[in-house]
Amino acid sequence: MSVPATATPTYPPGQHPDLPPPPGTAGVIGWLRANLFSSVFNTALTLVSVWLIYEFVTAAIDWFVLDAVWEAGSRVDCRKQGDGACWAVIAIRLDQFVYGFYPADQRWRPVLTFVLLFPALAPVLFDRTPYRSQLLWFSLAYPALGAWLIYGGLGLPVVDTDAYGGFLLTMILGVTGIVASLPLGILLALGRQSRLLAIRVLCVTFIEVVRGVPLITLLFIASTMLNYFLPPGTSFDLLIRVLIMVTLFAAAYLAEAVRGGLQALSRGQYEAADSLGLSYWKKTWLITLPQALKIAIPGMVNVFIGLYKDSTLVVIIGLLDPLGVARAVLADAKWNGLSNETYLFIALFFFLSCFAMSRYSLWLEGRLSVDDR
Amino acid sequence: MKSSIRAFSVGLAAMVLLAASLASAGTLDDVRKRGHLICGINTGLVGFAAPDDKGVWKGFDVDVCRAVAAAVFGDANKLKYKHLTGKTRFTALRSAEIDMLSRNTTWTFSRDVDLQLTFVGVNYYDGQGFMAPKKLGVKSAKDLAGASVCIQTGTTTELNLADFFRANNMKYEPVPIETNTEARTNYLAGRCDVYTTDRSGLAATRAATDNPDAHVVLPEIISKEPLGPLVRHGDDQWADIVRWSLNAMIAAEEMGVTSKNVKAMASKENKNKEINRLLGVEELQGRERLGLSKDWAVNLIAQVGNYGEVFETHLGTKTPIGLARGLNAQWTDGGLLYAPPFR
């Protein structure tokens, strides 16, 4: 202000400018004073907290970065170089964490499958993808293509499913489970609301039975009980059995999420569709299902994230998912004892992929809710 | 209720076995036709089965699988592994998903009889022991009255522990733990005074601490844990092949046949006639009945090694685990290893 401090300025009525707040009540200092140092007790709490955070963060940085060892031949070697994290075990065993025991000379196949996942997913996930309608055909063919690339046959050497492990196995379980359970779950949700008694009873029974049983029980059924029911020698691949169980499990949960969406629609939508004379499938496909799925997105993504993380349960039936690989790696006498490093690494992987899924769902919700406003 | 479940599962198993015996001529034929052996191993146990940095599975139990593959095919690598947990191992064997199981499995009466499995021998005599920090000053397990003990739940070790403390009129506080890794972490964090499991496991855990000298494995062995390979009931020829493959490893050590000298010994007459019979220099009566080639044991010893070599590679004093032979020495050295004669 250019007005001298001694003069009292006068203003016409209604023209008085806003005065700045008293010093020390606004800005950074004001915020600090109001929120952190408002009383003696709060000041003490603040100081103690700052000290704790400082101690924790510096110790963490020391362990994670400054004292960490990145190159070593064994745990003992690591400890000689520094007493922080021994990331060498991750560096040396990275291939096993990523591919399990997939043959080294064939690893381009899962890599290619993973790379192709993006053009296959893009038209499904993002409606503004260029050439969307053509790419959707590719998305449709992708499951078969991916299965062929990873398993082999028809010109490619066959890689037994026993060799799959690590993040590759998690991706196979997660992607297959999500992709296969989505249509199945939608059908179950529709079937549960069907007017045909037989279909309704069948769907309700399936959903309630599968939802009433823990996933680990289903996995045990897949890995042990099925062997008893099938004649010996005809037992089909453990991974396929597990994939089927995981898909059924996710489908039952998904069906309930979708049903929630269907029931949240106002009756008017159904009645309007009926009054237009649409057939059941046209009504479902054009009117009710798109709206119901939109409502169900948070619930569905919840199921998917749960399924993705639950895939680690396969370690109990002897499949070498990242946790299984970690156990195997730690069983090497050279690396035995480095459980913190391996489990933190796996946690980071799961956090990143689950966080990506949840961010996508938020984006999709925002995008689809435009017409509601 | 429990007995009806047992009757049900035994009935199922019997049906499966019946069907298996109808469906296949014999395990050996199946294995030959398939072109490789399928062996059930651990998902990871220090010294017994673990992948190396290149992803190749190695270990004391793995080498029993390799020995059988070498005996059957003359090639120890004609072998595929199925990784089995403690819960899935017996079903996998009984349902013919695997040809043999070599997964540090304790030979017990009920497993042998009730589960209808055939233990073909013992490749490691283990026993449950205790590990305690040196600063605790404990010299014997008898001093452990009132101690808190880290114990893996649902295992025979839990029952053995209870028996031992009851027999010695001592109280203890169990700290239940799910896995070995968890037990190690809890023990090192001081959440329990002592950790109990098989002594081979204790040695491995002790070796993986930052200062192994700060921990002692107490002298008491409170249980017998004879670990060995097993097959399912109903195919004696196959059981014999696995049994004598293991015996060949043990006998080879006793007679001084190693992977280095086996080729030389097999190409000449040896003074010890048993060596001649083992290595096919002289005919070993009945060998054809097992369907094995004349040089089966030569291949086995050359590619896998004798028992002592395998022990030193995976468990011995030169490895980080650093186990002494102890009970697993040859009977001539005061141990329990005693292969029946090759005659």
B36 and B155, same domain (yes or no): no
Residue B132: which domain range?
128-223
pLDDT tens sequence across B226-279: 999 999 999 999 999 999 999 999 999 999 999 999 999 999 999 999 999 999
**CA distance linking residue B247 with residue B71, whole number of Å:** 12
B208 and B286, same domain (yes or no): no
| pLDDT confidence of residue A342 | 94
Chain A residue closest to B99 (CA)? A233
A224 in reach of chain B (CB within 8 A)? yes
Q: Which residues of A touch B321 (CB under 8 A)?
A: 333
Cα B118–Cα B123–Cα B125 angle in degrees, nearest 5: 105
Task: Give how far A171 is from chain B: nearest CA, Å.
Answer: 20
B13 and B73, same domain (yes or no): yes
Is A327–B43 a contact, with Cβ atoms under 8 angstroms apart? yes
CA dihedral B118, B124, B129, B131 (to 10 degrees): -140
Q: Which of left, alpha, beta for B9 (phi over 0: left; psi -120 to 50: alpha)?
A: alpha
B343 belongs to a structural domain: no
- Structural domains counted in chain B: 2
Q: Which residue(s) pair with B42 in the sheet?
A: B84
Task: Give how far B263 is from chain A: nearest CA, Å.
Answer: 31
B190 and B234, same domain (yes or no): no
pLDDT above 70: residue B11: no
ipTM comes to: 0.82
Choose the mutation target among B38, B57, B88, B93 for the interface with A, i.e. most A CBs under 10 Å.
B88
B121 and B132, same domain (yes or no): no
Q: What is the mean pLDDT of residues B194-222?
A: 89
Q: Which of B188, B223, B258 is the last residue of a domain?
A: B223
pLDDT above 50: residue B202: yes
Of B20, B181, B319, nearest to A330 by CB-CB distance is B181
Chain B 252-281, residues with CB within 8 Å of chain A CB atoms: none
CATH number (domain holding residue B147): 3.40.190.10
- Could you report the average pLDDT of every consecutive run of 10 residues in chain A (373 residues)? 62 81 80 87 94 96 92 90 91 94 93 92 83 88 93 90 92 92 95 93 96 92 79 74 93 94 91 92 91 89 91 90 92 88 94 91 79 50
Task: Give how far B175 is from chain A: nearest CA, Å.
Answer: 20
Of A96, A223, A224, nearest to B51 by CB-CB distance is A96
B260 and B180, same domain (yes or no): no
B215 and B325, same domain (yes or no): no
Chain B 172-201, residues with CB within 8 Å of chain A CB atoms: 179, 181, 184-185
Is A337–B209 a contact, with Cβ atoms under 8 angstroms apart? yes
| pLDDT confidence of residue A372 | 52
pLDDT above 50: residue B2: no
Choose the mutation target among B83, B93, B101 for the interface with A, i.e. most A CBs under 10 Å.
B83
**CA distance linking residue B340 with residue B278, whole number of Å:** 12
Looking at domain A88-102+159-372, what is its CATH homologous superfamily?
MetI-like (1.10.3720.10)
B51 belongs to a structural domain: yes
* A275 contacts A286 by C-beta, under 8 angstroms: no
DSSP assignment of A112-164, as one string? Answer: HHHHHHHHHHHHHH-TT-TTHHHHHHHHHHHHHHHHHHHH-BTTBPP--GGGB
**CA distance linking residue A17 with residue A141, whole number of Å:** 68
| pLDDT confidence of residue B21 | 46
Q: Which of B198, B223, B248 is the last residue of a domain?
A: B223
| pLDDT confidence of residue B22 | 46
| pLDDT confidence of residue B20 | 47
Q: Which of B223, B247, B276 is the last residue of a domain?
A: B223
A246 in reach of chain B (CB within 8 A)? no
CA B212 to chain centre: 25
Cα end-to-end span (Å), chain A = 44
B11 and B117, same domain (yes or no): yes
| pLDDT confidence of residue A371 | 56
B268 and B285, same domain (yes or no): yes
Contacts 24+ apart (CB under 8 A), A361-365: A361/A297, A361/A298, A361/A301, A364/A125, A364/A297, A365/A297, A365/A298
- Residue B295: which of B335, B248, B256, B338 has the closest Cα? B248
B259 and B300, same domain (yes or no): yes
- Residue B192: which of B204, B182, B207 has the closest Cα? B182
Q: Which residue(s) pair with A86 in the sheet?
A: A69
B121 and B239, same domain (yes or no): yes
Q: How confident is the model at residue B51 (pLDDT cuts 50, 70, 90)?
A: very high
B142 belongs to a structural domain: yes
B188 and B310, same domain (yes or no): no
B190 belongs to a structural domain: yes
| pLDDT confidence of residue A128 | 80
Q: Which amino acid is at A155?
A: G
